[in-house]
Each structure stands twice: as C-alpha cells, then as structure tokens.
A = this chain, B = another copy of it.
Amino acid sequence: MASFERTLPLTRESVAKAHDLIQPHIHYTPVQTNTTLSRLASTPQSPEALQGTRWEGQPPAKPEIQLFFKCENFQRIGAFKARGAFHAVKRLIEEQGLEEVRRRGVVTHSSGNHAQALALAARTFAIPAHIVMPTISTPSKIAGTKAQGAHVHFSGSTSQEREAAVADVVKTTGATLVPPYDHPDIILGQGTMALELQRQVSELIQKDAGLSVGDAMGLDAVIAPCGGGGMLSGNAVALHGTGIKVFGAEPSFQGGDDARRGVEAGKRIETVKTLTIADGLRTPLGEHTWKIVSDKQYVAGLYAVTEQNIKDAMKLVLERMKCFVEPSAVVGLATILYNEDFRKMVEREAGEEGWNIGVVFSGGNTTIDAITKMFAPEVGEKDGQRAEGVVGKDGAEVAENVAG
C-alpha cells in the first residue's frame, strides 16, 4: 500500500512549518470569551449537583478559571479536520510532485468530518479523492461527499470490510491512503490550532486586562477532546516546552474513555465500542497518538464526563454563547464545569492566581434533527431544572444572557 515517504519530527517547529503550509487554505478561527461561562467555571458546584456522583459529600472545588474558546466549529467544513487534511495533501505534493499525486489520487475510509476535509483539500488541487463509506451511510452524507467531487466507494461496515475496500482502491488506482488521525502529518496539521490559540489569547489579554485571571500574560493550560487522539496529540506537540499544560477530555459512556483507561493501565486499548452522543470521540487511540497521549511530558492528564454533563455543557454553549457546536466539541468545557477531579487539580495547581484555560471547540457539524432527538422531552425538562439551578447560584452576571 502506498504511503508517505518521509515524515517530519513531532516537534513545535514542525507544527509551525505545517501552519505556514496550510494557512492559505484554512480559516484563522476566532477565539471567544464569555463572562457567564468563566464565572460558572469559577463557582463551586452545589452539594446537590454532586449527589449521585463519586464526589458526593465532598466539599466542592473552588478553582479560579478564565476561559478562552478556540472556535473550530467555524473552520472550513465545520471542523478542525480541514487542518490535518490540507497538511497531509500539501506534504504529499511536496514529496511526490503535484502531477504524480494527481495521477494517483488519495483515499480514506470515513463517513465523517475527515472524509469531507480530505475531499475538500483534494478538490482544491484537482486531485482525485476516493472515499470508502459503509453502504448503510445516510443518503445525505453520501450526497454531501459526492458534492465535494469525491469518488464514493461502498463497503460493509466492519473495519475488515472497509480496509479491504481501501486496498482495492489502492490496487486499482495507486491512491495514497490519508488516515484520519494516526499519522504524523495529520497530527502536525491539527496542532496548528494551538499556535493560533496561544497567540490570540496573548493578544486578547493585552487588549483587555480584565480578561485574565492572576498575573499571567497568556495561557496556562489547554483542554481538547480526545477520540483517535490526532488533535490532542497535535496540541501537545505544538505546546511542548512552552510551559502550557495540555489535558484531554473524553466521554465515559460505555467505555468511551479508552485513552484515560489505557494510560491508567499503562497499555493502549485497541478497540472501543461506545454509542456516546459525542460521536466524534468513539474511536480508540492509534499507535502514533498513543505514544504522545500516554506521555505525561506531553499530555498532563485525561478526564472523562457523562452524557448528561455533555448535554448540560452543550445547552450552555448554544443558549448562552449563541454558538452552534456538536456534542464532541464540549467535552472539554464539561470537564472544566463538572469533573471535580479536574477542578480540584486546578485549584491545587493554580491556587488563588487561577488559570487561563484554552478550550477547543472541535466542530459544529450537527443538525437540528439530532439535537431534537438528543434533548427528548423527559431529558429536556431535567436539563431545564439543572440549568436553572446553575443560574440561581450566581445572580445578576450569570443571568445576563438569560432568554428574555
């Protein structure tokens, strides 16, 4: 199977090079702040909120936190995946020459954001893109991928069937496989967001002294969702040596926190089968991403949140920030707001000074239909009560954005 010839070392310098390469093709996405959410993050959870959790009865943590949201939901194709895909394609062109890449094409198996991202990157350079999708994919996804100009190949839905279909495409066309996360060029591409985030937060703090907690002139930490781990690894590589700590967040539902469990056990978990609503995070770590994610020098900690935590955080982001995100995007914020292990760690490490934390909103590719299903009536009402309780704790400021 064709693959990339040489790969760059996984360093901050390589991420900077990747950023130079892809900058003409990606959006420099905004960083947003929100008084209400930073205030909530810095408010201890109520004893009632901890009932039924493993922190029940413990005194709630009192961290001091200022939040900075990197809005990759505004990225091209609506998710950060455009970064890695453009980087992989541009590196291929550097190595093989544009004509050769055009002759051979690129291939991947995915029905998700990576497929859209690769199709877009390939189309930009008039390179044929082959996307292997399960026959059972929803018609709108198939249509969307075809509309990007990609060749859609169908396969069964097991990973063996998909890999066989990819091998077929490679055999027939000579196309190069661009994997969704477990490749150095993808990792380096995704890491470019961290360079932007670091710079944007410094600029925001210089412009508005009130934005920062403590005396810090920039970021203290970044928290990012972890599925296959490409983006978390990229952030960790990009920020390695800067003193900015990087944390990963996962859904705990049906063992979706495979990275956390694997690191705890000292061994990569190779398969995971979860139907968490954070559907971008259902994949296990790959070999490359495991090496980085399991290294404390790169990823300082991994935390997990419940499905209810994810829904609560999503509701806050939509209703208060007026920002449309997918469930996978809010696991970092959910960790900050609801995971007492994380909150106690921040209280301990940051002290009264507090931390400026960058939160990666990874994407916004969900639909009103999906949200309607997710917040079905019973659950919706429970959510409503929960949100009200949160408001009640913090009078006027928190209520500033309440629907009128």
Residues of A within 8 A of B (CB): 73-74, 76-79, 81, 110-117, 120, 123, 140-141, 143-144, 147-149, 315, 318-319, 321-325, 364-369, 371-372, 375-377, 380, 383-384, 388, 391-392, 395-396, 398-404
Contacts and interface: CB of A to CB of B under 8 A. Distances in A.
A78 B322 contact: yes
A367 B147 contact: no
20 contacts: A76-B400, A77-B404, A81-B404, A110-B404, A115-B404, A120-B400, A140-B403, A141-B404, A143-B399, A147-B398, A147-B402, A148-B396, A148-B400, A319-B367, A322-B364, A368-B383, A371-B371, A372-B372, A372-B376, A372-B377
Contacts of A115: 404
Copies of this chain present: 2
Contacts of A322: 73-74, 78, 323-325, 364
Contacts of A110: 404
Contacts of A380: 368-369, 372
A35 to B, nearest CB: 10
Q: Is the interface of A mostly helix, strand, loop or mixed?
A: helix
Contact of A77 (B73, B141, B384, B401): B401
- A113, A367, A384, A388 — most chain B CB neighbours (10 Å): A367
B372 A371 contact: yes
Contacts of A76: 400
Given A143-B392, A319-B324, A322-B324, A400 B368 contact: no
Given A74-B322, A76-B400, 4 more contacts: A78-B322, A367-B403, A368-B375, A368-B383
Contact of A319 (B112, B368, B383, B388): B368
A283 to B, nearest CB: 14
A151 to B, nearest CB: 14
Contact of A144 (B116, B368, B403): B403
Contact of A324 (B74, B120, B323, B367): B323
Nearest to A317: B324
B371 A402 contact: no
B371 A144 contact: no
Contact of A371 (B368, B376, B377): B368
Contacts of A367: 319, 403
Contacts of A120: 400
B144 A404 contact: yes
Contacts of A148: 396, 399-400
B368 A404 contact: no
